[in-house]
Chains A and B, each alone.
Chain A
Amino acid sequence: MCGIIGVVLLYTGLLGKRLGTVIKGCLKNLEYRGYDSVGFALLTEDGALVLRKSKGMLDKVAWKLGFDRFDGVCGIGHTRWATHGRPSDTNAHPHTDCRSEIIVAHNGIISNYLEIKEDLVRKGHVFKSETDTEVIPHLLEELMSKGVKPLDALRETFKILNGAYAFVVILRSEPNKIYFARKISPLIIGLGNGYNFVASDIPAFLEYTNKVIVLRDLELGYVTPTEVYIEHLKEGAVDITKRVRVIDWTPEMARKSGYPHFMLKEIHEQPLALHSTLSSLVSLKGLKNVIDLLINARRVFITGAGTSFHAGLVGDFYLTKLAGIPTYPFISSECWKYKGVFDEGDVLIAISQSGETIDTLMAVRTAKSRGAKILAISNVVDSIIPRESDLVIYTRAGPEIGVAATKTFTTQVLTLLYLSLKISESIGRNSDYSRRVFDELAKVPLMAKEVIVSNEGRVRELSRKLMNKQSILCLGRGLGVPIAMEGALKIKEIAYIHAEAYPAGESKHGPIALIEEGFPVIFILLNDELKEKIMSNIEEMRSRGAYVITLAPGDIELPKRLVNYEIKLPATTPEVGAITYILPLQLLAYYISVNKGYDPDKPRNLAKTVTVE
């Protein structure tokens, strides 16, 4: 997982600032893809090369690298998340061939690089780093030294390299061209007037253009300031005119617009994201097909990773309870269990924010190869998983840049709830209750706003009480369990506090042994038939000295002696509650992280989209 950017200009200074500064800005917007090292390479009009790279976060090393001091007509930049070779100055991208004629930045993994490297070393090539990337320039050099033209050499290299990757190449002999290739890992072209971009994601260049071409698997080609050439490895040249899309996000949307962190911005964007998703679902044309697919399915599986899996667990509850369709939720990396079980007539619901999560993609491919149909739920239009699926529903959360998923979770849950209600409506099951939930669902964006506005201050106060704790236990029953799991995940990943979720009924079978004076326990109390039971769980915990925090509907009065800190939420059905209850937990994780002095947008050891198994 890394971010790459390439930009090529008709003449020096076309964008009104130095090319180094342009690349720095682009890399800043790609930082969510990795941030352990950065580097860039620039070519001037006569082919002079500047190559600078370093370990460390962009902001910290920008001055050292001196982005702002260099100008040119063509440049590439890279922000790295180490996979092969530890983060270091030499392992940072871009990498070059033996003579520094060919310069490459790469994202993803080349699985057969060791054998290629051995072969090249035998032929006399000198490798400087421990990365898999470095085989690309040397391989190109090897081919080009035999007189092969650059594009043909690129095609040959592309055939030789296995794995999931995307890369960009510049040549000192052709300072107005950037070559690129994509296999599985994303790569996007941005079209400008007298300049073109190639990048791992759209926000990188959104400041300069909103016209893009999303490259597909096995495509390669080059961009010059005025020309774009794309070919498919097997199918030949591509007609690009049909592929140009205009992005309606403004660059401002992809930035923080005054928020201290992307995560807080994205938490606050949830009411709007819910609203957009709900409106797009209401007008969704293919919904009938989706409903038919699920009603007629022999069995329904749900898969996802991390937060998407938690959304899947909530979806499992909805489909089972509201629509009467029992489902099998599983974590996508654990797919092997069902490998021989998927069959024709089965449906797999694959949930992935990015549409690129490798484990989920593998699960999709496994199920598909056995004849199962795939329904994808994703936030990124035209990404791999949606493209490989039979049917797709897109959440309309907008770009999510914070590594911890927030608005994509709530919009995924909303989508699954809407779907389940539509199914129950079309089969005439639980119709009275479903209609009530439906009415509540329409209010969910406003309810979400209300929850955030009326609780942010209190949650911030609570975060100060919890910031020095070693552990937090999150308990719930029924729908409260996946919410507790998602809340615990948020606390773990950005606040670095060990947090564990458990069904409250199970707490007697183990976790209660942990409880001592002041041990924080968060209870998720939904307005359902399980609330009496959960009250006795609270009693158990409080009597052992736990610091009890409750998330409960405002109309339920909890005895003061039982609760140390109460967060009140709007009274609603438990199904809709699954969307609103996660908001205070997201805020809690955020504020604990900020109070402890961490950067919630960049949790250590994590990347936004996991594209390696």
Chain B
Amino acid sequence: MVMKVVILAGGAGRRLENLLAGRPKSLINVLGKPLIYYTLISLSKLGLWDIVLVTDKPSYFEEVPAGIPPTLDVKIVKQEKPEVEGALLSAEDYVKNEERFLMLYGSVITDYEAYRSVIDASKYFKFNALAVPEADLTGLETLEIDINNFITKFSSEPKGYAFGGMAVMPPKVMELLKSGYSLTRSLTEISKEFKVRAVIFDGWWIDIKVPWDVLRASYYLLSNLTESRISNKARISPHTIIEGPVIIEDGAEIDHGVVIKGPAYIGRNVFVGLNSIVRNYSDLEKDVMIGSLNEITWSLIMDRAFVSRNCFISFSVVGYDAVLEPNVITLSVIRERGKVERPLKVSSRGREYVKLGAIISSKRRVKAGTILTPAQVI
């Protein structure tokens, strides 16, 4: 199927600002690859090679992430006007002569099947959009459908399905945007004029809106690990215990007495010191340093962060180049419901918990002995 693709990878990512340190949201590394990589791979599998990527920070995208098939033709376009509406308009020249095009949110990370469903459906229905059944719709864009599963409305009200950030649309949407309509309003107008089919998707899907959505992404990607891959260029002490699937990349060094409970990811040149515990769904990105006697569970430690000694990091995100001095503790059990939007839900030994640790900003230095409360942003 020949269809042009527009990826909207701009967006300030306001709620992730302190983590991003100016970098685009879709370049956050998860399992050693930027989020955008997972989208591009899915597109290439479907033969969608003609891609326009709109961003307000084009310089960051100059380097093509490793592993992207060279057949993909990705044109980087600088976003001229603000907001998602401005981003889409910047791609107008590329799609205005097309009959339809695939619009994607760069902040969405989902299973390949979601892309496949949309492309499959587009063989029968000219226009369509991805609909995801989500229980908690706060902060997400939504859509409602009629008796024939055609879309009646896009909005931000927590009703119906989450809009999956993926839609096959006519270029007319650009005209509506130019007349000053918001994107949801424009999409609603399009669905009134044309028939836009809802494609209901039953797999995992995340729109990265808040920092802990990244933890959800690493959770799903790690859950899909079916086997371990340990580089022969990693140095692993014979006294390390490794359980379950793990990926350990080139140059990583695991010291004596470390316990790694998979699924977990240990990136390039990461160091894990004496007797530390790395528990399931932990994602340590490249050049991270973990000193001795630390415990890390279901957390993302972003590139070059440093965790010194005796820290407990759970359900947390540690930003680029952050430094945790000794004895930093993150608490993570949230007792009052509804305090945080879309927190992480886990069940352990038959009991359910709502959890969220700390969000530690990039380049931040956390003083020794600090105790961070659940959902604290520092």
Contacts and interface: CB of A to CB of B under 8 A. Distances in A.
A252 B124 contact: yes
Interface string A239-260: 0000000000000100011111
B137 interface: yes
B135 interface: yes
A453 B203 CA distance: 17
Contact of B137 (A457, A459, A517): A457
Contact of B147 (A257, A446, A594): A446
A465 B161 contact: no
Contacts of B135: 457-458, 460-461
A261 B161 CA distance: 18
B202 A257 contact: no
Nearest to B114: A260
A397 B109 CA distance: 36
Nearest to A587: B133
Contact of B200 (A252, A264, A454, A458): A264
Contacts of B146: 449
A379 B170 CA distance: 38
A100 to B, nearest CB: 40
Interface string A482-511: 000000000000000000000000000000
B199 A258 contact: yes
A260 B113 contact: yes
A275 B147 contact: yes
Contacts of A259: 117, 199-200
Interface residues of A, number: 29
Contacts of B137: 457
A606 interface: no
B133 A456 contact: yes
B161 A453 contact: yes
A594 B204 CA distance: 11
Interface string B145-173: 11111000000000111100000000000
Contacts of B348: none
State the main secondary structure of chain A at its contact with B. helix
B137 to A, nearest CB: 7
B352 interface: yes
Contacts of B120: 256-258
Interface in A558-604: 590-591, 594
A260 B202 contact: yes
A454 B199 contact: no
B124 A591 contact: no
A453 B145 contact: yes
A286 interface: no
B350 interface: yes
A518 interface: yes
Nearest to A268: B149
Interface string B126-142: 00100011111100000
B177 interface: no
A272 interface: yes
A260 B117 contact: yes
Contact of A594 (B121, B128, B161, B202): B202
Pairs of residues from A and B, 3 with the lowest C-beta to C-beta distance, nearest first: A258-B121, A461-B135, A456-B133
Interface of B: 113, 117-118, 120-122, 124-125, 128, 132-137, 144-149, 159-162, 197, 199-203, 347, 350, 352
10 contacts: A256-B120, A257-B120, A257-B121, A259-B199, A272-B148, A449-B145, A453-B144, A458-B135, A461-B136, A590-B202
